[in-house]
Chains A and B, each alone.
Chain A
Amino acid sequence: MLDFLISPLRKLGHTSINAIWRLGYASRFLISILMYSGQSLMRFSLVIREVYFAGVLSLIIIIVSGLFVGMVLGLQGYNTLARFGSSDALGALVALSLLRELGPVLAALLFASRSGSAMTAEIGLMKTTEQLDAMSVMAVNPVARVVAPRFWAGVISMPVLAALFNVMGIFGGYLVGVVMIGLDAGTYWSQMNNAVDLHFDVVNGLIKSLVFGIAVTLIAVFEGYDATPTAAGVSSATTRTVVTSALVILALDFVLTAFMF
């Protein structure tokens, strides 16, 4: 009878302790990455190689999604603005919504599912096949050799991809608004120029994407490093990377927006 009451409570306690323990482990992991990143930044070719896999190979998905998001914004924005007779403000609408929110957030979500999951799977499989242990045996620190270059590659790639997403989105809005619907090109750009401020909108958006880059890459490498070394463990770690990243990105976005704007 008493056990019937206590066992769910015990389960709850176990889950909370586990969550807090993992949070602490992830923080210590971040500190050890930062401590060993000196070594991996000395061998910068490792970081460049990871920038290729995380950033360059994500170019296509970022360009295509950015273009389509901008085009949808152009269409929907035009339909709504035309109702109030202010379709001239389309440029401002597209640019502001992309620079402040959609660009950093969507680019980070895409980056988490395209590159973050790949990082987790790669590191998890290295752990499963005991490659990380082999490195330790050869006196090569796996955090410095495997984890830190991937972390820095993600931090470098994320702002670049977000900026590209913004530019493609603004171009997509231009395609729909000016080329397809036939608004005036000069009005599109000048409304945008008047509404967008360099420090307030552009720089804050880039800061956001940098923060998302740190969060997503840390989650990806941590889940990979912490994965249960089995096939099922790697697969569930990959899933956790995508889910946790998405939640963390959206929560961080709210916090950053509340502070910035």
Chain B
Amino acid sequence: MKRSTIDLWVGIFVAIGIACVVFLSLKVANLTPQSADSTYVLTADFDNIGGLKIKAPVKSSGVVVGRVTNVELDTQRYVAHVTMALDRHYQFSRDTSAEILTSGLLGEQYVGLTEGGDPDTLKPGDRITITSSALVLEQLISKFMLSFAEKGDSNSGKNASAAQ
């Protein structure tokens, strides 16, 4: 085979390889080059973030508007300090509330933002003050068991008084 044909085929081969790696990084791993000037940062403090992880989506009405960029423990007040990078296109009012929700029954956790009524919008670096924590299954079950047990106690008490 002629040398130039071989060169051409090897060129195509390497180009396919580069295209595949680019496809894997952009489309599969979702490496969107989000520069700092297309996003702005908001923070929120939660009592309990459950299983929220870095890179979890931030959604408003189900639409992804940003990502969680950092999660850390505030050692002054012992609350979880969550930093989010939001798309600059979306502005939220000052009394927006943030809560930690789960997609599906056992799906991943995300931050849900609910728009308030204040005409002023949150500035970059602002803190969302109205927050509600994640539902932790164990706490939910223990609450349920406790109320169940109390009900059982009062029932037996009633029975005892009726017997008298």
Q: How many residues of B contact A (CB 8 A)?
A: 26
Instruction: Give the one of B10, B13, B28, B55 with max A CB within 10 A.
Output: B28
A95 at the interface (CB under 8 A from B): yes
In angstroms, how far is the closest chain A Cβ from the Cβ of B148?
A: 28
Whether B20 lies near A167 (C-beta < 8 A) is: yes
- Using Cβ atoms and an 8 Å threshold, which residues of chain B touch A86? 104, 106
Whether A163 lies near B20 (C-beta < 8 A) is: yes
Interface 1/0 per residue, A140-173 and B, CB below 8 Å = 0000000000000000110111011011001000
Instruction: Give the one of A88, A163, A166 with max B CB within 10 A.
Output: A163
Whether A164 lies near B25 (C-beta < 8 A) is: no
In angstroms, how far is the closest chain A Cβ from the Cβ of B3?
A: 7
Stretch in A4-12, A29-37, A52-60, A177-185 with 4+ CB within 8 Å of B:
A52-60
Whether B29 lies near A167 (C-beta < 8 A) is: no
Interface 1/0 per residue, B85-114 and A, CB below 8 Å = 000000000000000000010101000000
In angstroms, how far is the closest chain B Cβ from the Cβ of A59?
A: 7
- Using Cβ atoms and an 8 Å threshold, which residues of chain A touch B23? 167
Contact of A159 among B1, B17, B104 (CB under 8 A): B17
Contact of A160 among B1, B3, B9, B13 (CB under 8 A): B13
Contact of A95 among B10, B28, B57 (CB under 8 A): B28
Task: Give bound CA distance, A165 to B58, whole Å.
Answer: 33
B6 at the interface (CB under 8 A from A): yes
Whether B10 lies near A48 (C-beta < 8 A) is: yes
Interface 1/0 per residue, A62-88 and B, CB below 8 Å = 000000000000000000000000101
B21 at the interface (CB under 8 A from A): yes
Task: Give bound CA distance, A119 to B57, whole Å.
Answer: 49
In angstroms, how far is the closest chain A Cβ from the Cβ of B30?
A: 4
Task: Give bound CA distance, A74 to B122, whole Å.
Answer: 44
Q: Contacts A52-B10, A56-B9; is A201 near B29 (CB within 8 Å)?
A: yes
B63 at the interface (CB under 8 A from A): no
B162 at the interface (CB under 8 A from A): no
- Using Cβ atoms and an 8 Å threshold, which residues of chain A touch B146? none
Whether A198 lies near B25 (C-beta < 8 A) is: yes
Whether A163 lies near B29 (C-beta < 8 A) is: no
- Using Cβ atoms and an 8 Å threshold, which residues of chain B touch A52? 1, 6, 9-10, 13
Closest to B108 in A: A194
Q: Contacts A56-B13, A160-B13; is A49 near B28 (CB within 8 Å)?
A: no
Interface residues in B1-21 (C-beta closer than 8 Å to A): 1, 3, 6-7, 9-10, 12-14, 16-17, 20-21
Whether B30 lies near A56 (C-beta < 8 A) is: no
Whether A196 lies near B28 (C-beta < 8 A) is: yes
Interface residues in B42-96 (C-beta closer than 8 Å to A): 55, 57
B130 at the interface (CB under 8 A from A): no
B31 at the interface (CB under 8 A from A): yes
Whether B20 lies near A160 (C-beta < 8 A) is: yes
Whether A163 lies near B17 (C-beta < 8 A) is: yes
Whether A51 lies near B28 (C-beta < 8 A) is: no
A206 at the interface (CB under 8 A from B): yes
A129 at the interface (CB under 8 A from B): no
B158 at the interface (CB under 8 A from A): no
Whether B16 lies near A160 (C-beta < 8 A) is: yes
Q: Contacts A192-B28, A196-B29, A202-B28; is A164 near B10 (CB within 8 Å)?
A: no
Task: Give bound CA distance, A56 to B16, whole Å.
Answer: 10
B149 at the interface (CB under 8 A from A): no
Write the residues of chain B forming the contact surface with A, with a CB cutoff of 8 angstroms. 1, 3, 6-7, 9-10, 12-14, 16-17, 20-21, 23-25, 27-31, 55, 57, 104, 106, 108
25 contacting pairs across A/B (C-beta < 8 A): A48-B6, A48-B7, A48-B10, A51-B10, A52-B1, A52-B9, A52-B10, A52-B13, A55-B10, A56-B12, A59-B13, A86-B106, A99-B28, A160-B17, A160-B20, A164-B20, A166-B20, A193-B28, A193-B30, A194-B30, A194-B55, A197-B29, A198-B25, A202-B24, A206-B21
